[in-house]
Amino acid sequence: MTKPQLETQADIKHKTAAQHSGLLAGWSVKILNRSDIRDFIEKWHYSGSINGCNASFCFGLFDGMDNLVGAMFFGQLAMRNQWKRFSDDATKVIELRRLCCIDNTPKNAESFFIGKSLKLLAAEWDANGIVVSYADKEYGHDGTIYKASNFEMVGEIKGAKVIMWEGKQYHDRSLRCKYKGKLKPYAVRLNNAVDSGLATFRTTAGKYTYVYHLSAKERKHINKKRQILRCHGEKKETL
CATH number for the region 9-158+205-214 comes to: 3.40.630.30
Is 1's pLDDT higher than 60?
A: no
User: What's the pLDDT score for residue 235?
Assistant: 55
- Of the candidate ranges 21-25, 41-45, 99-103, 169-173, the one whose mean pLDDT is the lowest: 21-25
Q: Where do the structural domains in the chain lie, given as residue ranges?
A: 9-158+205-214
Is 9's pLDDT higher than 70?
A: no
List, in sequence order, every residue forming a beta bridge with 57; answer none if it has no partner.
Answer: 74
User: What's the pLDDT score for residue 14?
Assistant: 44
- Of the candidate ranges 1-10, 27-36, 76-85, the one whose mean pLDDT is the lowest: 1-10
Find the mean pLDDT for residues 83-108. 95
Distance CA 49, CA 42 (A): 5
Continuous segment of H or E residues that includes residue 11: helix 9-21
Edge-first strand listing for the sheet containing 168-171: 168-171, 161-165, 200-203
Per-residue pLDDT tens digits for 122-134: 999 999 999 999 9
Is 13's pLDDT higher than 50?
A: no
Is 144's pLDDT higher than 90?
A: yes
Best CA proximity match to 27, nearest among 38, 16, 36? 16
* Helix, strand, or coil (residue 167): coil
User: What's the pLDDT score for residue 231?
Assistant: 79
